[in-house]
């Protein structure tokens, strides 16, 4: 059982370390976060704002169909290097995704810019509810659960 002063100290420590803990939770799930973007690009051909990346030219559509690849929308997947080089940075809960692939600047210029790496509102909600929130709740239960108050 913690005294009120001990509880306040524990709470202050918790609050001061909270942004870093959230960043750690997110970074520990980096591949899952990135896979949400990759899956949307590949399955839907849309950026983080829900904007279509477009369709292929008839020639390229036929090529994609011939090799058994998705051909009805742009996926930004050809050799796999753009997807494979994706990485994430986090600071104070703000997530930035990018790709080290050499084609990235051209891809961003050709399509919807950095929105390619964004999360939709639904993805953000899902990632918070399923990944971040449960870990935050685990952190909260580490706080003292009872307080001893002495009346003098």
Would you mind telling me the total number of residues written for the chain in this entry?
152
Which residues, including other chains, have CB under 8 Å from residue 77's CB and lie 6 or more apart?
Answer: 41, 42, 69, 70, 83
For 4-121, strand residue ranges (E) read 86-91, 94-99
Among 33, 29, 43, smallest CA distance to 74 is for 43
For residues 56 and 152, the model is more confident at 56
Q: pLDDT tens for residues 103-143?
A: 999 999 999 899 999 999 999 999 999 999 999 999 988 88
Mean pLDDT of 99-104: 97
Mean pLDDT of 11-38: 96
> What pLDDT is recorded for position 29?
97
Is the pLDDT at 152 greater than 80? The verdict is no
Confidence at 1, pLDDT banded by 50, 70, 90: confident
Is the pLDDT at 5 greater than 90? The verdict is no
pTM score, whole prediction: 0.87
Q: pLDDT tens for residues 31-87?
A: 999 999 999 999 999 999 999 999 999 999 999 999 999 999 999 999 999 999 999
């Amino acid at each position: 059982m913690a005294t009120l002063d001990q509880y306040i100290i524990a709470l202050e420590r918790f609050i001061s370390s909270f942004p870093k803990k959230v960043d750690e939770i997110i970074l520990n799930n980096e591949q899952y976060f990135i896979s949400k973007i990759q899956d949307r690009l590949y399955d839907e051909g849309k950026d983080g704002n829900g904007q279509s990346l477009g369709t292929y030219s008839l020639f390229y559509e036929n090529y994609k169909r011939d090799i058994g690849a998705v051909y009805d929308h742009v996926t930004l997947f050809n050799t796999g290097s753009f997807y494979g080089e994706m990485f994430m940075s986090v600071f104070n809960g703000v997530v930035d995704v990018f790709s080290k692939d050499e084609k990235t600047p051209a891809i961003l210029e050709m399509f919807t810019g950095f929105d390619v790496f964004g999360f939709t509102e639904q993805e953000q909600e899902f990632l918070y509810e399923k990944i971040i929130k449960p870990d935050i709740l685990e952190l909260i239960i580490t706080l003292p659960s009872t307080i001893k108050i002495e009346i003098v």
